[in-house]
Amino acid sequence: MLAVQGQDWHASRWALGRRVAGASQQSVIDALNAGKLVRSWPMRGTIHLVAATDIGWLQSLTNKRALASAPQRRKILGMSDEILDQLVGVSLDALRIAAAGGLDRNELSDAWTAAGIVWQSNWRYHLIWWLCQNGLATLGPVRDLAEPRLVLAAGWLPTARALDEDEALLELAARYPVARGPIRAKDIAWWSGLGMREVKRGLTAAVESGRLATARFADEHGEAIPGAAGEAWLAPSLLDAEITPPSEALLLAPFDEHLLGYSIREPQLIPGGIDYVVPGKNGVFAGTVIRDGQTIATWKRDPKQRERVYLFPFPGNEVSARELERDVARWSVFHDQEAREITVGAVSA
């Protein structure tokens, strides 16, 4: 996957785990505690789960764009450069003392208070992002299923792979389509936050190296598909592969790469379907149910009756509790919890 959306800590564990046979919530956490995975900001200013061996070269490739808006953001937050320097210095000192145990958000800001810095609550996220985005820290170890704790990058992350820009563009272009099937240049540009010129350099190099192949999107008659016309890139092994989407209904996490891994989502959604997946139009994606590659419903746990899962079919789509039993049971086993009762509700809006 190269990276998995990590805005929702709970959801990101399932997004990763459901793609790994036999995975459990604990195995994901074990990988974080072992320093194999980290939760950080590899690109686009968006938090992801990513292999620790990849975070360094990804950030080196994308940091210029990611950091460009930081001064304006600090201006809005009322954080001066002088205060930023103080916060960074105190944070790094506190993280050195904490060592591999790391600090959570409250412990980090307690260190600021102890140092006599007057800070605002809306500064914490920006400061943690700044430390991670600049490769000074990362979110690694986990305690009691809480969000990963902040640790110094030095000593926690493995030695960064030394890739120059051309090598990093090739690596990104070659690996992004492997788990996502045929993609367009604009997909990888959106996902990585890079410009089209950089993306095309990477795609060209990946094809020349034999790690990618090119194709064109068309229907069974060879005609262009509306909304998906144009050149595509994919792993060479997929060119002659017989690919059939799972016919069983599957439970996907909120913010899943099935939707967020691409710039255009019409192939996975009915017209207007995005309004059901992001009902508040606030960028918060609901958990989804897919069948044959198509999104057919959203789902959520009952906040009061945690043993209950609600399904909300899209208009014109039917989904029964029975056909989700297997996947909901898998979700429950993954989280080491009792199986959930499934209730089909009204259309999500």
Secondary structure element (H or E) that encloses residue 274, with its range: helix 274-277
**Dist CA 10 CA 278 (whole Å):** 18
Reading across the β-sheet that carries 37-43, which strands appear in turn?
A: 3-5, 46-51, 37-43, 137-139, 150-152
CA 34 remoteness from chain centre: 20
Residue 277's closest CA among 207, 194, 201, 348? 348
Residue 72's closest CA among 101, 34, 45? 45
DSSP state for residue 329 in the 8-state scheme: H
| Chain segment 313-335, per-residue pLDDT in tens | 998 888 888 888 888 889 889 98
| Chain segment 149-184, per-residue pLDDT in tens | 999 999 999 887 889 999 999 999 999 999 898 899
Q: Which residues pair with 215 in a beta bridge?
A: 232
**Dist CA 249 CA 333 (whole Å):** 17
Which pLDDT score, from 0 to 100, does residue 342 have?
80
Instruction: Give the three-state DSSP class for 93.
Output: helix
CB atoms within 10 A of CB 96: 11
DSSP state for residue 166 in the 8-state scheme: H
Q: Which residues pair with 168 in a beta bridge?
A: none
Residues in the chain: 349
CA 213-215-220 angle, to 5 degrees, is: 145
Write b or e for each residue in 217-245: b if 16 or more Cβ atoms lie within 10 A of its Cβ, otherwise e: beeeeeeeeeebeeebbbbeeeeeeeeee
Comparing 321 with 345, the larger pLDDT belongs to: 321
Which single residue is written with the structure tokens 């209950």?
308
DSSP state for residue 270 in the 8-state scheme: -
In the chain, the domains with their CATH numbers are: 3-152 (no CATH), 165-238 (1.10.10.10), 250-344 (no CATH)
Per the structure block, which two tokens stand in for 346? Answer: 């009204």
Q: From residue 63, how far is each of 5, 66, 150, 191, 223 by CA, in Å?
A: 18, 5, 19, 14, 40
Per the structure block, which two tokens stand in for 47? Answer: 């938090």
Which pLDDT score, from 0 to 100, does residue 41 have?
96
Average pLDDT over every residue of 281-307: 85
Which pLDDT score, from 0 to 100, does residue 306 have?
64
Predicted model pTM: 0.90
**Dist CA 152 CA 139 (whole Å):** 9
Q: Lowest-confidence range among 15-24, 223-232, 328-337?
A: 223-232
